Amino acid sequence: MQLRAVTAVLTFTLAWLTVNAQEQYPKNESVDIQNYVFGLHLNDRSNEIKGEAQVTVLFKKNAVPFALDLIQKLGEFGMEVTEVLDGDSNANYSYTNNKINIIPKSSTEATQTYTIKYQGIPERGLVIDTTKFGKRSFFGDNWPNLARHWLPSVDHPYDKASVEFQITAPDHYDVVATGKKVEESNLENGYKLTIYKEPAPVATKVMTIGVTEFASRLVDNIDGIEVSAWVYPQNRLEGFGDYSVAGNVLEYFIDHLGPYSYAKLANMQAKTQWGGLENAGTIAYFENSVTGNKTVEPLIAHEIAHQWFGNSATEKSWNHVWLSEGFATYFCILYLESVYGDERRKEELAIDKQQIFDYYRKNPAPIVDLSIKDPMKVLSTNTYQKGGWVLNMLRHKLEDGIFWEGIRNYYATYQNSNVLTDDFRHVMEKVSGEDLESFFEQWLFVKGHPQIKWNWDHSNGKVNLKVQQLQDHHVFEFPLEIGIVKDGRMTIKTIKIDQRNQNIVIESKDRPDSIVFDPNEWTLFEDMKY
């Protein structure tokens, strides 16, 4: 996902933290949702929707009571449940505190299917509105936990499931949704049924539908994956042009990360609260992303990177959302580096670095911040830009070959699954053969960054550096590249910073014209020059 405020075109010991990470949502590890079928009836007379959801549940041991999230009707908004079936018979259920609590009748069948019939007006999650051109529209906008406003579900990313959307709507609408289109049929009385089916497991946060008047075009086909653009007819040519770069981005990530998980890649102009929302295989971009100037490439790269990180390899706890947003931020930069060169990487990281420093002065917290209880508050400069910077430093620490091997191994291990920060660390340690615990702890679980004051002089064929860490809560340990500039040429030396105050001597026969700290943007520190 991309926040509107984040670029316009454009988450102790680790073992202890993994066990004790905050989690407000009551996980039921005895139950695993296998599949959702959401039948939805939309109309033009009102904003009320009618739904029939079939939920297939796997009980890992014995059948136990479980709950589905669905916001109850209170005043104008919310849902009324009219019937719940356990197989073909009435279910033993209650509907209280925005949860449908079901007690299975059979305790012997490992897999059972339940049907929930309901209706109401969703306040959030399904955005029923008009487009910027005044056309009625319906857009799923579930992130982080808004699916419960219109879809009975386990509305948390720890329990992913395959999904099918069966959308009945007036026949003048075009319909796109998570999955591949398997049916489009005209019905009586001016309605049309459109069915999309996604076999890969998907978290509710990235399930979506888009229903309005669209212009659509197949813009590419990468390894059998259809890449399409869905834009408002008034933006037809500009939108097709702007979104066509998605094929290049998809190809880069398939080549560098591994197989794409979903049935298609649709890129959709939409009503969304976000700059972009990485819905699985059906990405939503804010309405004004279409300009005809092809400036949306970084945003597209960020959202497509999410298809691997956040959608397929999904954080199991909201506090570890940097595994989604930090990864998307950095892998967008890696894509841009591949197209425009290393100077673009350095430019993007320099911008992000300043935002990290500015944010820290007002919000001194670590990336994995266990004090946050509300998933709507986990997104920040920490989880985006600082998370991306951690990956940049890890890449430099391990070097390119090991870094990419580790990333591909990580994705292969957790594709279509769930992950915590410790899981990522273990994979990178296995591939690199290095102990990375202190690296992960200081950059992800300790607040802040090194604030360095330094100066230098030259005497007797030596550069004498005085380096001081000013932050008082932690002494960071990290390698730092020093650029020694003489007659327009730079020689780079790497020193180790591991003390609050250090005197460092570097051999240099001639007096340098200047000294540059971290000329290649590999280390996150704030330069507080004397």
- In angstroms, rounded to a whole number, what is the distance separating the alpha carbons of residues 305 and 92? 43
Mean pLDDT, consecutive 10-residue stretches, the chain (530 aa), reads 50 33 80 98 98 97 95 97 97 98 89 98 98 98 98 98 98 98 97 98 98 98 98 97 98 98 98 96 98 96 98 97 98 98 98 98 96 94 98 98 98 98 98 98 98 95 96 97 96 96 94 96 90
65-76 tens-digit pLDDT:
999 999 999 999
Contact 224, 264 (CB under 8 A): no
What DSSP string describes 83-98? EEEETTEE-EEEEETT
| Cα–Cα distance measured from residue 71 to residue 303, given in angstroms and rounded to the nearest whole number | 28
Query: Quick check: 488 and 469 in contact, CB under 8 A?
Result: no
pLDDT at 24: 81
What CATH number does the domain located at 451-527 have? 2.60.40.1840
Q: Cα dist. 121→47, 112, 300 in Å?
A: 6, 29, 32
Q: For 30-213, CATH number?
A: 2.60.40.1730
Residues forming beta bridges with residue 485, ordered by sequence position: 490, 514
Q: Which residues of 22-52 are buried (b: 16+ CB within 10 A; e: fewer)?
A: eeebeebeebbbbbbbbbbbbeeeebebebb
Residue 140, beta-bridge partner list: 126
Sheet holding 501-507, edge to edge: 501-507, 462-469, 451-459, 526-527
pLDDT recorded at residue 2 = 79
**CA-based end-to-end distance of the chain:** 39
Structural tokens at position 32: 């695993």
Q: 316 forms bridges with which residues in the sheet? A: none
Residue type, 254: I
Q: What is the pTM of this model?
A: 0.95
Q: Side by side, which strands form the sheet with 514-517?
A: 489-497, 478-486, 514-517
Give one DSSP letter per residue of 28-52, joined into a string: -TTEEEEEEEEEEE--SS-S-EEEE
Q: Would you state the pLDDT for residue 41?
A: 98
- CA distance linking residue 328 with residue 325, whole number of Å: 5
Q: Is 499 helix (H, G, I), strand (E, B) or coil?
A: coil
415-452 as b/e: b if 16+ CB within 10 A: beebbbbbbbbebbbebbeeebeebbbbbbbeebbbbb
Nearest by Cα to 212 from 125, 123, 130 = 130
- SS3 labels along 323-351: HHHHHHHHHHHHHHHHHHCHHHHHHHHHH
Cα(309)–Cα(324) distance, rounded to whole angstroms? 5
Amino acid at 209: I
Within the chain, all domains assigned CATH 2.60.40.1730 are found at: 30-213
Q: CATH homologous superfamily of domain 1-23+234-449?
A: Neutral Protease Domain 2 (1.10.390.10)
Strands (DSSP E) contained in 42-132 are 49-59, 66-69, 78-86, 89-90, 92-96, 99-103, 111-121, 126-130
Give start-end residues of each CATH 1.10.390.10 domain in the chain. Answer: 1-23+234-449
CATH 2.60.40.1840 in the chain, residues?
451-527
User: Is the separation of the CB atoms in 195 and 163 below 8 Å?
Assistant: no
User: Helices (H) and strands (E) in the chain — how many of each?
Assistant: 10, 29
